[in-house]
Amino acid sequence: MTLSITVALLTAGAVYLFTKREMLRVILGFVLIGHAGNLILFAAGGTDRRSEAFHPGDASAMADPLPQAFVLTAIVIAFSITVFMLVLAVTGDKTDDTADRVEELDVAAESYSDGVRHKPRNTSRQEQS
């Protein structure tokens, strides 16, 4: 039960971060979704129903090493993807104003919903016009 709640919270946090347009938040969302996937893979191994890996008794009671190997491989892959995305974020184009444009739309939607006129902040594209 605790594991499923943890996976749900990690997934919810990842979805929340995916809805933001900043690259760092998207990267953190990928990290969270990777951790949730690792927990699911680890839970699929049935580690709560088995004993330690090198048990001298019955071989059926030993822990299955395959899900643990999958999780280890998934950790390495998630780390490499995270580093790649961080490099893309650092070396990316500085003129990308997607986050600013979404913020303008959010301010416009907020001002429409509460009846108060808010002035959106100036972006580089508006200043040039």
Mean pLDDT of successive 10-residue stretches along the chain, which has 129 residues: 91 92 87 92 72 63 76 92 89 65 59 56 54
C-alpha angle with apex 23: 82 to 6, nearest 5 degrees?
A: 60
SS3 (DSSP) at 73: helix
Q: Is 97 strand, coil or helix?
A: coil
Using CA atoms, how far apart are residues 3 and 5, in angstroms rounded to an integer? 5
In contact, 37 and 8? CB cutoff 8 Å: no
- Predicted pLDDT at 128: 53
- Read off the pTM: 0.64
Domain residue spans in the chain?
2-92, 93-129
Alpha carbons 123 and 100: distance in angstroms, whole number: 7
